[in-house]
Amino acid sequence: MNKITKRITTRLPTSVTVKQTEIESTLRNFIRFCRSESRFILAVFLLHSLLITGCVPQTDGVLGDRISTPEGDFYIDGIEIENARFELNGISNPQNPSMQMPLQPALAYWVREGDHVAAKWDTFEYHWEQEKNFCGFNDNTPVSQDEKCLVCNYCDPIYANGNYTGLPCLGAQPVLSGAQDFLVVADAGFIQTPNPETILSMVGIATNFLGGCNSSYAARDFAPQKSGLYRIFSPTTFITIRGEAKGEANIHVVTSGASMSQKAAYRLNRETIDGIDYWTWTVRGDDFWLENFSPNLRVTDIRILKGKCEPDPTSGKECVSPGEVVKPSRILFLPDFNNTVSGHPQESTNRCYAFPSQTLADGNYINLESCRNTYSTNPNLGTQPRIVTPTYNPDISSTPNNSLRKLTWLIQFDTGEGADANLSPDSPGFDPMPTNTELIIEFTIEAF
């Protein structure tokens, strides 16, 4: 088979005001019309319509690549990748370094500097359209009934040996030749910009980009050096990126050392559990969690604050506006929480009581590095460390399933055990927490 590659790389002037989607749609039609000599006059008219609007059509990518077969000529209508996302890659359990930790995919990650993140997707598809046919490719049927609209998914395990002959791949080797076809980029301010930093290029032969397929190819990964919005990105409009994560993730990079710790804060929800008022938090999401944390991180200090959760997109954090510090009596962090505290098998081990002092300047009444397992006014009570992230307990040395079980955080305000909803000197004693109070939990995150 002969493969003839056709690339058009003209540029749009900066003064163009026509919507890009309209240009792309018209351009697609123009290329399709040009494939037939009988439609040449109509194609010229269509191109003229574009020009009089002040636009110069552009095509970046592989739209128009052609393969000739006995059944006729086929043209690439576009490339599509599905469930494009980022995943933490090659992470070892710090309590058991020989054990790799498969972590739940998320829309945002907190990582230790040096941790690796991989670009992943479920499909890498070439969409082939036979000459003089119009294919919607809405259902991604691998081969249409009339074999005129073809979807070649190079992530399919049947192509692991590199044999792409026959339908639907037509013998075409998956190659991206443009210098800017397929990239991982980063925007340092967590807001998408027109000039992101290029982190990783996946152009060239198949081994450069099929590693995202969970296939025999090695995953293309990288170690983020700075916090920001990371994106699987193609400047060409003919590579379509789909999925819940949209090929994006906010990534927060934490450098080792207590002085380099960072803070993450979340809104708490009030619930009555076993007849007791608690304020609770657990990371949202199912297939994709809202956030996930490298096991090379841990929570140290915890503060509870009274106030509204105010997000700041430029920081990539859910809550950034601190409020008035209050004092809880204890905090529990329970995996597989099923709406009961008294009957939970880990209630007695996964808990920390507040330090008895009423006057801690920083408001960190609970420190997971020195958990107090019982209530006591003795400041010298014995303590023990708890190694957890906000989402799960990374100590899987004895119970491996713990690593994938969400933690639910429960904050209790028992005035009989030192809780105080008002730490002002003007309010002596222990004030109960009103049930309608809006509270925030703030974790100090440290790398180790």
Query: How do residues 393-418 score in pLDDT, each as one tens digit?
Result: 866 544 555 456 789 999 999 999 99
Q: What is the mean pLDDT of the chain?
A: 80
Distance CA 403, CA 369 (A): 19
Neighbouring residues of 423: CB distance < 8 A, sequence distance ≥ 6? 324, 325, 326, 327, 358
Query: Do the beta carbons of residue 121 and residue 220 sit within 8 Å?
Result: no
pLDDT at 263: 95
Total length of the chain = 448
Asked whether the predicted pLDDT for residue 262 surpasses 50, the reply is yes
Q: Indicate the pLDDT class of residue 136, thresholds 50, 70 and 90.
A: confident
Distance CA 293, CA 388 (A): 10
pLDDT tens by residue, 51-74: 333 332 222 335 667 888 887 888
pLDDT at 138: 73
Residue scoring higher pLDDT (221 or 327): 327
Which tokens sit at 66? 């052609």
pLDDT tens by residue, 105-119: 999 999 999 999 999
Closest alpha carbon to 403 in 385, 387, 415, 417: 387
Asked whether the predicted pLDDT for residue 164 surpasses 80, the reply is yes
Angle, in degrees to the nearest 10, between helices 20-34 and 40-51: 160
Dihedral pair phi/psi, residue 393, rounded to 5°: -95, 115
Lowest mean pLDDT among 39-43, 158-162, 256-260, 431-435: 39-43
- What's the rounded mean pLDDT across residues 37-50? 36
Distance CA 105, CA 87 (A): 6
Asked whether the predicted pLDDT for residue 216 surpasses 70, the reply is no
Helices and strands in the chain, H and E counts: 2, 27
Asked whether the predicted pLDDT for residue 270 surpasses 80, the reply is yes
Neighbouring residues of 188: CB distance < 8 A, sequence distance ≥ 6? 197, 226, 227, 228
| Residue 33 host element (H or E) | helix 20-34
DSSP code for 90:
S
Which neighbouring-strand residues pair with 440? 267, 305
Do strands 248-254 and 269-273 pair parallel, antiparallel, or not at all (unpaired)?
unpaired
- What's the rounded mean pLDDT across residues 173-183? 74
Which tokens sit at 408? 């639910």
Judged by DSSP in three states, 408 sits in: strand
